[in-house]
Chain A
Amino acid sequence: MSAGRAARACPASLPLATLVEHWAGELAPADEAAVEEHLMACGACAERAAWLGRLAAATRELIARGRVPLVLTPALLARLERDGVRIRRHAVEAGGQTRCTAGPEDDLIAVTLRAPLRAGERVDLVYLEAPAGLDLGARWADVPVDVARGEVVFVERGDAIRPLPAGRARLALLGVGPAGERTIGEFTLLHTPWAGAAP
């Protein structure tokens, strides 16, 4: 949170949660006015709020450039497409497989996993097998899901997928509850390097 000119410490600084709600426009009008007054009068708190603004700008930039692996929601997908982020989409049913690739212009590779999901159940996404050379990371715990559509949509960076050799990735969605885990579905992605646009 360092900035050019150090501000005097605030003896009663605003909590981060309040600054976030202020940034998001969620405060009641009177509270918003009070926070604005404080931020205009207090350099230390203004500096912390400015850090939040820089974080927002930098996060937007990274996401728009396809540098953040994400589980998507309809609002995020719509915003990405509105911003011109190039997304190649693949979809696969539980128990099934699909061919996939990453084109030279693709910012993001979106994969829709379709399976019967239960409302209220925590869902984890796990890579069971991945092509050599790709660090797919750990288990994605408690991913956002669309229960009504029976879908989980996640994206990987295009520049992470593009250099992969031909290979197979296997994923699973796991339902996690007090009684343990259940496999909701397994999915196979057959990756091939980009071979040019289809004729």
Chain B
Amino acid sequence: MNWKRASWTALIAIPVLVLFAWGFTRDPNNIPSPLPGRMAPDFRLPVVTPGEPPTTLPVGDTVHLASLQGRVVVLNFWASWCVSCREEHVTLQQFARRYQDQPVTFLGVLYNDFAAPARAWIKAMGGQQYPSVNDYDARTAINYGLYGVPETYFIDGAGHVAYKQTGPVTDAILTRVVDSLIAALPSAGGRPATVRGDTAAHTLAPASPRARGTP
């Protein structure tokens, strides 16, 4: 063995390996979403699972995103057939409970799924604190440029998408993003003027017949 030559040659590998190691800090599919900074695409979607007190909403009512302005909104796209959604469920669940008195609304958006398996999933997973709406024709998912489930969108008090998380969300991300968005709300200290109390904040728009129809 000629160790001297061998070790010199091995140096060739270093830049390649450094490049790969650096590559891991990137997600190639994470093409910067054009959404952050823009208005979140509006939707009116029917509630499919009610959530738990104090943030319940009656099943069948319609949630109108625009009516939630003034609060921070966390939109979590999920499905009962999605394995990664199970991973993040506990995190979301605990976070939503911890922040239920804060000016932040959590909303699940059921994607390519049916009501029955979704309810069964929630039951099996030990509940879901916040209500979910049904994106029955995936139109909202398309508007948001959904890549897959789970994906989570953070919307600020003015209705702009502030941050998008592809894949399971972590407690650190939730804390960082939600805290900063709450702090940025117009009424420092939390409560936007237009919103009273907690559940009442979900100013429900009248259910539009079109939104309830089937595709």
Partners in one complex: no
